Amino acid sequence: MGDRMSADAIPGDVPSGDLVRRHRLSTRVWHAINALTLLVLLMSGLMIFNAHPRLYWGEYGANPDYAWLRVGSARSGPVEQGYLQVGRQRWDTTGKLGLWKDGDGRVQRRAVPGWATIPSRYSLAVARIWHLAFAWVLALGLLAYLVRSLVNRHLQRDIHITRGEWRPAHLWQDVRDHARLRFPTGQAARRYSVLQKIAYAAVLFVLLPLMILTGLAMSPGTDAWLPVSEVLGGRQSARSVHFLCAGALVGFFVVHMVMVVLAGPLNEVRSIVTGWYRLPKERRP
């Protein structure tokens, strides 16, 4: 979903090609902080995953138990290979996951290479410190952003999906427009499309809250006063959901950046840095 947003635009019609105010300062600051926060959480989370690179469903999870996802290394004849296994399907990931060489040329058998983790050398304790610190930044930042968006009516005005937008014909047309890379022009560029609304609502109200909730569920200290893990089907289930949500956020980021590039990166980046966006000129019939 591209970043074609009208949330903070000046009211009233503006001629195509003119600059409009697109993002308030609060939106731009939260966007920058969130980008850094999620990057640190992802990289420190991958280091934590290195401590036990397997995911389970249920309450218990140890090496003898069935893991629906695992990353490791094993010998295949005379050759040792890294692998990623999901269910019964296994892929060779030698050099990328499970078995790789560090900057000094030494063979490492950690799940995720050091360039993708914080810290780069194995340290579960340090990774947990980074992860917990930035988890607070994520949680408090999300709360502040949602409260601010309710007060200035950003959520009601720009994220709320109307009954007409839920119509199958409208949804299908938006899918076709995105597939054909037909981006809105003129006044239409000041509004979210329905696919954008669905994507941003999913991030704000599903993925980020689930990341926070499952993070709490994995903490033994939380279970002492709030049995979150029981609601999620067990601590290992919470861990699996936590990683699946992280993967979904990475997928959202990749699609988001691709659409920004295709829609015009200079104009899109300017809007999120300065708040000003130049309306694309209307297409002639």
pLDDT of residue 283: 62
What letter does residue 180 receive in the DSSP assignment?
T
- Per DSSP (E only), the strands in 156-201 are none
Token pair 């130049």 is found at: 278
Token pair recorded at residue 178: 């995105």
- Helices in the chain by DSSP H: which ranges? 25-51, 124-151, 154, 168-179, 194-202, 208-217, 220-223, 228-231, 235-263, 265-274
Cis peptide before 11 (omega within 30 of 0): no
pLDDT, residue 53, reads: 96
CA distance 165 to 48: 41
> Shortest CA distance to 2 belongs to which of 229, 242, 219, 262?
262
Measure the CA–CA gap between 114 and 87, rounded to whole angstroms: 26
Length of the chain, in residues: 285
From the number of C-beta atoms within 10 Å of its C-beta (0-12, 13-18, 19+), residue 169 rates as exposed
Q: Tell me the pLDDT of the chain (285 aa) as tens digits.
A: 444 444 444 344 445 567 888 778 888 888 899 999 999 999 999 999 999 999 999 888 777 889 999 999 998 778 999 999 999 999 999 999 999 999 889 999 999 999 999 999 999 999 999 999 999 999 999 999 999 889 988 888 889 999 999 999 999 999 999 888 888 877 777 788 899 999 999 999 999 999 999 999 988 788 778 888 888 888 999 999 999 999 999 999 999 999 889 888 888 888 888 888 888 877 665
d(CA 154, CA 204): 13
CATH superfamily of 19-61+117-278: Transmembrane di-heme cytochromes, Chain C (1.20.950.20)
| Residue 192 · residue 4 · CB < 8 Å | yes
Cβ-based neighbour number of residue 276 at 10 Å: 13
Q: Where are the domains of the chain?
A: 19-61+117-278, 62-111
Task: Note the pLDDT of residue 183.
Answer: 84
Question: For the chain, what is the radius of gyration of the CA atoms?
Answer: 22
CA atoms of 50 and 48, how far apart (whole Å)? 5
Q: What is the phi/psi pair of residue 224, to 5°?
A: -70, -25
Q: What is the pLDDT of residue 284?
A: 61
Q: Comparing C-alpha atoms, which of 113, 77, 67 is closest to residue 94? A: 113
For the chain, first and last CA: distance in Å? 25
Token output for 159: 């994220």
pTM for the complete prediction?
0.85
Predicted local distance difference test score (pLDDT) of residue 17 = 61
Question: Which residue, chain included where needed, has tokens 């990683």?
Answer: 243
